[in-house]
């Protein structure tokens, strides 16, 4: 039964989404480890340069110059720089925060994107969605409460990351259907790599690259293939069908933090994580119900 389901288009999409969340949690775990040994800006530049280079190598033979053609260069550049900014905030957050708590806050991005779409794109957002977003924010407050394990000045980084990535998601939705997804993937890496060049020259450390190159390659390859699997997942199943499975990243991140770093959330943080996950899954169910109503 399970094998038959995985072979279906929807089942394959769900499997790819689960592998994507595992990959992203693994990247965060590896990044948290390696940022203590190498310059953060250097790792960030390598991740985007690797994505652009590998995407070009893998897709240019099949698509040729079509890979480089975009009707929305400004949006592509903005998406790339937002991805760069949110990734930078994520790396600095991982330096100071446990894996589970960081990932829980990052899971707010889809909800913040929904709120931003309501304000800036005039998209309709139901009362149930606003309620669920409020529940999600309450979960974050349980995690970052004064006196908690993660309370401090460094919380500005995940906060900035969430808003940057939410804007990134809105631009992605604007580009969806208009652009080749691999073109978007390539330009995201290219814009991030070019954006980092003026900064990376001041922190370049060849000895760190030579000594820790397997970690650089692991982060670059994991990020590139993780996003490519995400693209393939959305080509097989709808965002509505896949949304609940994105929260598997919370479980993988919590496991990675416990096994690699010996980090375990306290009782209040566990409650906050559960509240955020429940809010996200509830939001996905509302989406499914609304989609069903539109089909009727």
What pLDDT, in 10s, does the model give residues 248-269? 877 888 888 888 888 777 787 7
Mean pLDDT in residue range 29-56: 91
pLDDT-derived band of residue 180, with 50, 70 and 90 as boundaries? Answer: confident
Mean pLDDT of the chain: 82
Mean pLDDT in residue range 33-48: 91
**Predicted TM-score of the model (pTM):** 0.80
Percent of residues, the chain, with pLDDT higher than 90: 24
pLDDT score for 188: 92
Higher-pLDDT residue of 183, 232? 183
- Mean pLDDT is lowest, of 20-29, 137-146, 195-204, for 137-146
In SS3 terms, the chain reads as CHHHHHHCHHHHHHHHHHHHHHHHHHHHHHHHHHCCCCCHHHHHHHHHHHHHHHHHHHHHHHHHHHHHCCCCHHHHHHHHHHHHHHHHHHHHHHHHCCHHHHHHHHCCHHHHHHHHHHHHCCCCCCHHHHHHHHHHHHHHHHHCCCCCCCCCHHHHHHHHHHHHHHHHHHHHHHHCCCCCHHHHHHHHHHHHHHHHHHHHHHHCCHHHHHHHHHHHHHHHHHHHHHHHHHHHHHHHCCHHHHHHHHHHHHHHHHHHHHHHHCCCCCHHHHHHHHHHHHHHHHHHHHHHHHHHHHHC
pLDDT score for 238: 65
pLDDT-derived band of residue 48, with 50, 70 and 90 as boundaries? Answer: very high
Contact at 8 Å (CB) between 51 and 243? no
Contact at 8 Å (CB) between 197 and 83? no
Express each pLDDT in 64-79 by its tens digit: 888 999 989 999 999 9
pLDDT score for 124: 73
Contact at 8 Å (CB) between 136 and 111? yes
Q: Is the pLDDT of residue 93 over 70?
A: yes
Express each pLDDT in 113-130 by its tens digit: 777 777 776 777 778 878
């Amino acid at each position: 039964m399970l094998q038959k389901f995985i072979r279906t288009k929807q089942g394959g999409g769900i499997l790819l989404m689960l592998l994507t969340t595992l990959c992203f949690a693994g990247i965060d775990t590896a990044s948290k480890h390696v940022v203590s040994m190498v310059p953060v800006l250097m790792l960030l530049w390598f991740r985007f340069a690797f994505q652009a280079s590998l995407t070009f190598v893998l897709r240019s033979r099949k698509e040729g110059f079509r890979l480089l053609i975009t009707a929305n260069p400004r949006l592509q550049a903005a998406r790339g720089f937002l991805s760069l900014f949110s990734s930078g905030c994520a790396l600095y957050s991982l330096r100071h925060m446990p894996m589970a708590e960081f990932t829980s806050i990052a899971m707010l991005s889809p909800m913040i994107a929904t709120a931003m779409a309501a304000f800036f794109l005039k998209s309709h957002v139901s009362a149930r969605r606003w309620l669920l977003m409020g529940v999600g924010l309450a979960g974050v407050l349980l995690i970052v409460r004064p006196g908690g394990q993660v309370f401090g000045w460094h919380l500005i980084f995940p906060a900035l990351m969430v808003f940057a990535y939410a804007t990134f998601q809105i631009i992605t939705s604007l580009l969806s259907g208009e652009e080749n997804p691999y073109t978007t993937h390539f330009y995201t890496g290219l814009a991030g790599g070019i954006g980092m060049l003026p900064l990376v020259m001041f922190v370049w450390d060849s000895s760190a690259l030579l000594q820790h190159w397997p970690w650089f390659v692991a982060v670059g390859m994991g990020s590139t293939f993780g996003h490519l699997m995400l693209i393939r997942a959305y080509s097989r199943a709808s965002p509505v069908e896949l949304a609940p499975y994105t929260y598997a990243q919370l479980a993988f991140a919590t496991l990675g933090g416990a096994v690699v770093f010996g980090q375990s959330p306290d009782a209040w943080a566990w409650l906050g994580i559960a509240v955020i996950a429940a809010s996200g899954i509830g939001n996905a169910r509302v989406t499914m119900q609304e989609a069903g109503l539109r089909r009727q």
